[in-house]
Structure 1
């Protein structure tokens, strides 16, 4: 009797174990929905069931496109929800899948990635900057291009991190690389604009403000005088210097006006010295200004 009972219990355990393993293998190989009578209908039903399961468990979390939340791109997990445990996993015959990361755990993973500066460095696979391309963060805190990671998984034939070789990782779409790239672009645009404004201001100041060095100051005013091409005194309207002969006196006008020396003002205007002194004598204001541009000046004999 005992032998019969033991044999029946053993056979029952073996039956349960075999059924559990068979169900687990069938689910892993996605054979539970196969139907030889109508394979087209079976594929359509399986696809509809998968979409319903994803929508029920994730909502918009499993979408492939970028999401925006209050004007900012939102991060989302790419991996679908874990399927329910099989009988073999519940009985401990097969190892259960790893638990999905929570929001707090993802925050810790991202903090570790930011501390290591992975988003500031180029992608390890293609060795190019992330820029505005889609970027994924793995549960092991390594960052790659989404297209590069998909290509690596397709050609390697398994799901393992290219850096640390961790298998069965989770992926999350992030936008740190795009945000850093936008910040660098904004800084470059601001630097170009500020450089343009400073160069324009310096060029205007170099043309209008005389330098303090005597030689540079003299050269500055000589350049101004050459640019103006002044030949007559604006006050008396006679030539500042002339070598024409005066027929009646038989001598040059320069000899006749030998005491009329030329005065250069700090505003780059030229006058006869007696004309400017007469103007200053008749000036009513406390400090005389230039007869042409009405600006305060300093004068020097040339």
Structure 2
């Protein structure tokens, strides 16, 4: 009985390979999902530390280069700086962007064949096949799938799954990706490879050149067509009705050009005269303070306040037929005694206007209605002068 029990216990124990496979799968999933297991790090031995220091010293002494995948040119490794930016990661011979594909070490699950290994680097023929697939699918004509803008002449990359993106867009997408494994934004292919391409830039230049040529050819054809039609109808050929209509249109266009030119000339003259009037008004404002308090009409000899056309102001205020003060909202009265007339043609009670000026916070007195600077005269005095001029 004891021997049978021991055999059952031995058979119940799991195989060591099964335990290793399970641990390898857990480690692979944890690394792929960037899970923090917070395991206690193993203290390295002194011999391991010394060997690593020796390797780092030997590597620092050896020249650091990286090989371009396009032209196989060896470029010196240069540290990045804020001034260089991405220019330090370009090939000195062909200008191709350096492939920043992270070459992760194989996990234990991948080494034991439990998980598929990353695909090997594509050859030049395979990259050409990817570009042909993208061109056949029309990716060069469509916008970038990330930013939804046309590729234009910006830097583009093509992935090993034959999808194209802007270099800045795919770099930003990779930066904010939450997993260590790179995934294509469209087909979700993992561990893809990318390479610089100029397919979309070439298509954009070709399309732009065709558009420019089409516009230029249309312009030249339309300009030559008018001369050809005129030569054709001038020789007496063609339908008489269409010939008459063609020359009528030519005469109408000539007339429109003449009218436009004359209107522009008139507008320029009007603008010049308006500028003269503006300068004259500004000059009058400058010398308005030095104007005499009263002036004499040469025709009648009547004296009236100077500096403004008070007769026109009085007639304008009288035509408005205002019967109450805008400050106190009381009527003026039939005799209009104690009423002041402003140079802006508004009338107020003299006491109301005086009180308003006492509480004025501005350096220049402004009209309570139109907010314009003014000079005031009594209504009866201006009315008397107006009656004398008649």
TM-score normalized with structure 2 length: 0.39
Structure with more relative contact order (C-alpha pairs < 8 Å, separation 6 or more): 1
TM-score normalized with structure 1 length: 0.49
